[in-house]
Amino acid sequence: MHDMQAAVKVRVEHGQLVVDEPATLPEGSRWKLVPLDGLEEEMGSEEHAEFVRELEISAKEADAGELIDAADVLAKLRASV
C-alpha cells in the first residue's frame, strides 16, 4: 500500500493547479479538490471554523509522522465484526 498525504497545499497559477510543497502521491491516484474559499458558503461559520481547526491539527499530525494506515484501521474494523 502506498503512503498518501492527507492534504496537499495547492494554488492556481494561469488556470493550473500548482503544488506548493513536495508531495508523495501514488501514480494514478484520484483526488477531488474543493476550493477552501467556498467552504464557508457550503457550511455554517461554526462548522467551517471547526473544519479548519481539524485540518490544521491533521496537517500537524501528518507532518510529525503521526498517521494511521487506513488498511490497518479497516483490518481492525473487519476483525471486530
Picking from 28, 27, 35, the residue whose alpha carbon sits closest to that of residue 9 is 35
- What is the torsional sign of CA 43, 44, 47, 52? positive
Judge whether residue 15 has pLDDT over 80.
yes
Domain boundaries, given as residue ranges, for the chain: 10-79
For 19-62, the pLDDT digits (tens) are 888 877 788 888 877 777 777 777 788 888 898 899 899 889 88
What's the pTM value of the predicted model, to 2 decimals?
0.42
pLDDT at 1: 41
